[in-house]
Structure 1
Amino acid sequence: MPRPDPRVRRHLAAAAAAGTVLLVASGCGFLSGEGGGGTVDTSDLDCSPYEQWADTGGTVDVYASIRDMEGDLLEESWAEFAACTGITVQYEGSGEFEAQLPIRLDGGNAPDLAFIPQPGLLQRAAADGHAVPVSDGVRENVEAGWSEDWQGYATVDGDLYGSPLGANMKSMVWYSPTYFADNGHEIPQTWDEMLELSDTIAESGTKPWCVGFESGDATGWPGTDWIENALLRTSGTDAYHEWIAHDIPFDAPEVEEAFDLADGIIRNEDYVNGTFGGVDSIAVTSFQEAGLPLLDGGCAMYLMGSFYGAQFEDDVEVGEDGDVYGFVLPPMEAGTEVPIMGGGEFVVAFDDRPEVVAMHEYLSSGDFANSRASLGSWVSAHQDLDPANLADPTDQFTAEVLNDPDTVFHFDASDAMPSSVGTNVFWTGIIDWITGSSTGDVLETVESAWP
């Protein structure tokens, strides 16, 4: 099924065509309400879902790492809320979010709300006194909408500092069903079968894997996903959580074993790197571009989060019989537990003005989850998310995996570690590793940086 055009403004199209709603473009996206630079006539909108925040007004600055088309979809998802409440939402998506947010906080230039994808960074913002605990309304929404595990990621010293937003699966291997079918390949059910498949593809003259670790100031994070998935498969859940908590050191044998497992694929010159070059090219290949050679046979597989579907053009068919789709990274042995690693964002407030509280309450509601989901390329773990709103096959696949009662879900380890390690020296260490540093040297460097 072709992906729906995400640039269509579904909710406000009819009203806008009639001239009853004016959305004013800014440098950061769309502003709604009087503060957006134009008048808004909400007579043709159903504002009843937003009645509790009626006439709030004011301006809310939102800062996140979500940008480009995904940022546009976010702004579309809250456009009705903004129009009906008179709140101007000024959104900024940045590729340097992880590096710049701490600088802004320490410099007294905090946004009103930030969408933080790392519990470690959230905990730092709370411990440093920058973040404010959630309002009673947000707390009620979170307790009703998410499991205790999700709540725990945003809790610091007994206080809730954030509400979950989106969710993703990062144990997903993208592939081309057409390429697999044309060459008689089957989806591997074990790690060894995946290696055998990689050997077969390599012998045919195609590099079986595409890999890209470049991501601006966040360069390196895709590499940590490889290590985390490997550790879950070699040592299991207990060791994974002990590693996050530093109950075992970063350079423990279990972690070295995970690096060695990943090494067999992503530092294997026979396997990588699609059309981009050899192993060294991984460090400078952007994760956004890395998976695109799947479409023309430039590579056969690409480990990347479920959110990657947004990188494909609208005429690319995503599905089991389409141009691209995904399978779950297999376990070491058939019939064993398949660990799922993933992540998401948490909405964190740095001010408690009424308009900020109102916006946070809406973002923590089931209404927002369904509004955003209906636009495609997004999944939430909110218990009120209606599966009927997930038209995109990737979203359906992700939701099916995440909601499977047999799924054992693990939050991204580097995001859950202290930010000085998980989203700093671990990221830089993985780049050192992929460009030639020994596993032992990298593990020792990261371990020595643990606070």
Structure 2
Amino acid sequence: MTPIPTATGRHRRLSAAWAVLALALTAACSNSSGSSGAQAEASPLTGDCAKYQAYAGHAGTKVTMYASILSPESDSLEKSWAEFSSCTGIKITYEGSNDFESQLPVRVAGGNAPDFAIIPQPGLLAQMVKSGKVVKPPAQTVANQDKWSPVWKTYGSVNGTFYAAPMSANMKSLVWYSPKAFKQAGYQVPKTWAEMMALSDRIAASGTTRPWCGGIGSGTATGWPATDWLEEVVLGSYGGEVYDQWVSHKVKFSDEKITTAMGTVAGWMQNPAWVNGGIGDVKSIATTTFQDAGAPILTGKCAMLQQASFYRAQWPKGTSIAPDGDIFAFHLPAVSPTVSSPVVGGGEFLAAFAGRPEVQAVQNYLSSSDWASSRVKVSSGWVSANQGVDKSLYTDPIDRISADALTDPAATFRFDASDLMPAAVGAGAEWKAFTAWFAEGQAIPKVAADIDAAWPQ
């Protein structure tokens, strides 16, 4: 659906007297939410709604939200602001799309930008800021960043200027498996990369299942799960310094370190004896959606899936997710034992394309600890690095694993590399080249050269 256009710029001819009266009425109905300068105090909210007083005074308004988040995850997202919307009278119209990354620039360039976009790639955020259409956040949103580690503010900034508040954090360095199936077969959760490779050989030799399944299909974002696999291997092989140099292109994709890491990925996720359990051959990984990739674990056709913490939302309702349940996850081991607890993480950032009072009120709320706590409460599979969230709210064990890893001072943490790279690379050429790598068996040197060639000069 097309976002509902705003009323900004729409004018009516009024007599001078009526214009004065209209301005007076507007001032009387406004509030002082801290989002748009001096305004009259809003009518007090009562009962359970009293906690939203700072955002009141915009009843009957509407804002549009656009993102790549789809159902069922988007269902809990909308629940997280339902009470806020009901109490303040600000309607938030949400649209999720598999084509978000390609369509957002089109909409912005065409003058049809949403009020908000939830952007998971800092590289795409930089592209949008360059368009001149992103509106800087209000003072309260900026103040709310005190509850986040300072590094997160840098991810929401472009050239040192803050534009987009972080909303979520996720741990990508997880492997999903079935504890029940492992116990029945006598398998142990691997603690090292060597143990994981040996386990993969053992499972493949059993003849009853394949050790790995995977899918990189995601609409116009097809290919992104494969970029995660390379990021895990680069960080887990060489540590943070090489990873940072790779993100900035000081170390190119064609560098021996990166092509060696790609060879490690190929030996893992392109091994015909190991993949794609219950689905098909290696090429089927390119045509399988990431949402469907883990399903064969529940039918015993596949043993493991490397996916992020947010994959929890993809398991069918009623699935027991626990250390002794149908499904659980373990921390993906480092490729090299010299790298301390590598963690690749991601996140989402709220960028505004409008500065109306109701838009800024929503922006202030969605950047607060109160909203983050509400989001944690409505569903499992979502984690925030907002330090104002009480960790006891994480009742799901996967969420606790993720929250602990993301805040572990001994961990080697880095943000998703493709999300940090220029959008033309990380959300474009790399996805396309990695899809060809899996779908067509394209050679590693060709894949690397194609990505390097797309890097902005």
TM-score normalised by length of structure 1:
0.89
Give identity over the alignment, percent.
45
1:395 is matched by which residue type in structure 2?
D
Residue among 351, 356, 359 paired with 2:354: 351
Question: 5 Å matches for 1:303-318?
Answer: 303-318=306-321
Is contact 2:45-2:52 (8 Å) kept?
A: no
Instruction: Provide the rounded CA distance (Å) in 2 between the counterparts of 1:193 and 1:425.
Output: 34
The 3-state SS of whatever aligns with 1:92 is: strand
Question: 5 Å matches for 1:213-232?
Answer: 213-232=216-235
Cα distance, 1:394 vs. partner? 1.6
1:320-363 Cα deviation digits (max 9, x unpaired): 11111111111134474121001010000111100000000000
1:277-313 Cα deviation digits (max 9, x unpaired): 1101010011111101111211111000111111112
- Tell me which structure has the larger Cα radius of gyration: 2
Is contact 2:238-2:339 (8 Å) kept?
A: no
1:430 is matched by which residue type in structure 2?
F
Is contact 1:234-1:257 (8 Å) kept?
A: no
Is contact 2:238-2:336 (8 Å) kept?
A: no
Is contact 1:207-1:300 (8 Å) kept?
A: yes
Task: Name the structure 2 match of 1:278.
Answer: 281
2:52 paired with 1:50: yes
The 3-state SS of whatever aligns with 1:351 is: coil
Task: Name the structure 2 match of 1:337.
Answer: 340
Cα distance, 1:405 vs. partner? 2.2
2:422 is matched by which residue type in structure 1?
P
The 3-state SS of whatever aligns with 2:346 is: strand
2:433 paired with 1:425: no
Is contact 1:231-1:257 (8 Å) kept?
A: no
Task: Name the structure 2 match of 1:175.
Answer: 177
Question: 5 Å matches for 1:238-317?
Answer: 238-317=241-320
Instruction: Provide the rounded CA distance (Å) in 2 between the counterparts of 1:69 and 1:157.
Output: 35
Instruction: Provide the rounded CA distance (Å) in 1 between the counterparts of 2:192 and 2:55.
Output: 52
Residue among 86, 101, 104 paired with 1:101: 104
Residues 44/204 of structure 1: CA separation in 2 closer, same or farther (3 Å cut):
farther
Question: 5 Å matches for 1:28-427?
Answer: 45-57=47-59, 58-142=61-145, 144-205=146-207, 206-334=209-337, 336-376=339-379, 377-427=381-431
The 3-state SS of whatever aligns with 2:447 is: helix
More deviation, 403-412/376-385: 403-412
The 3-state SS of whatever aligns with 2:152 is: helix
Cα distance, 1:198 vs. partner? 0.3
Give the number of aligned pairs.
Answer: 412
Instruction: Provide the rounded CA distance (Å) in 1 between the counterparts of 2:311 and 2:419.
Output: 18
2:64 is matched by which residue type in structure 1?
D
The 3-state SS of whatever aligns with 1:287 is: coil
1:17-71 Cα deviation digits (max 9, x unpaired): xxxxxxxxx999xxxxxxxxxxxxx988511211011122311101111121111
1:352-398 Cα deviation digits (max 9, x unpaired): 10000000000000000000100122111101111122122221221
Residues 187/289 of structure 1: CA separation in 2 closer, same or farther (3 Å cut):
same
Instruction: Provide the rounded CA distance (Å) in 1 between the counterparts of 2:2 and 2:376.
Output: 25
Task: Name the structure 1 match of 2:19.
Answer: none
Task: Name the structure 2 match of 1:446.
Answer: 451
Is contact 1:154-1:161 (8 Å) kept?
A: yes
Instruction: Tell me the C-alpha RMSD between the 2 structures.
Output: 1.6
Residues 201/167 of structure 1: CA separation in 2 closer, same or farther (3 Å cut):
same
1:232 is matched by which residue type in structure 2?
L
1:412 is matched by which residue type in structure 2?
D
Instruction: Provide the rounded CA distance (Å) in 2 between the counterparts of 1:51 and 1:43.
Output: 6
Instruction: Provide the rounded CA distance (Å) in 1 between the counterparts of 2:224 and 2:201.
Output: 26
The 3-state SS of whatever aligns with 2:76 is: helix
1:93-115 Cα deviation digits (max 9, x unpaired): 11111111111111111110110
Is contact 2:62-2:358 (8 Å) kept?
A: yes
Instruction: Provide the rounded CA distance (Å) in 1 between the counterparts of 2:373 and 2:90.
Output: 20
Task: Name the structure 2 match of 1:16.
Answer: none
The 3-state SS of whatever aligns with 1:343 is: strand
Cα distance, 1:314 vs. partner? 2.2
Query: Which 4+ stretches in 1 moved above 4 angstroms?
Result: 42-45, 333-336
2:445 is matched by which residue type in structure 1?
G
